[in-house]
Amino acid sequence: MAQVEATTERVIAADAEAVFDALADYSGTRAKLLPEYFSEYEVREGGDGEGTLVHWKLQATSKRVRDCLLEVTEPTDGELVEKDRNSSMVTTWRVTPAGEGKSRVVVTTVWDGASGIGGFFEKTFAPKGLGRIYDLVLDKLATETQK
């Protein structure tokens, strides 16, 4: 079983603290950032960063739906980590300053991929598909925070 990784990044014309706060606001802003690939969004505990437990379904392809129950931690300043209780998937959001009034957002998701030929195709195509989904999230995050 090989680890699969998908990383996407964007510079957003908004202060890093405002961008991070928007990402960490699971009870408000975060739901607005999710494109049609996400469904059944529900905050089950907390709602603001560390200590949040959030649920959603992610349909990355027509055949593949992940039922995600994510525990949120903030291991360092500007970092949110979402660990899925239902799988090996871990998503890390890092927000850092990128010049005057700008921030860099890097989102990385890793998980244990399938073995054999299925694993080959997963490692080859899943990062691109997830990257397209995260591009949509980052578009909405930019729109939300650059107001």
Q: What is the pLDDT of residues 16-54, one digit of tens each?
A: 999 999 999 999 999 999 999 999 999 999 999 999 999
Q: What integer pLDDT is reported at residue 62 of this predicted model?
A: 75
Confidence of residue 117 (pLDDT cuts 50, 70, 90): low
Chain centre distance of CA 110: 11
Q: What integer pLDDT is reported at residue 83 of this predicted model?
A: 98
Beta bridge partners of 105: 10, 95
Q: How far apart are the two ends of the chain, measured CA to CA in Å? A: 44
Q: What is the pLDDT of residues 69-87, one digit of tens each?
A: 999 999 999 999 999 999 9
Closest CA to 46 of 28, 59, 34, 63: 28
pTM of model > 0.85: yes
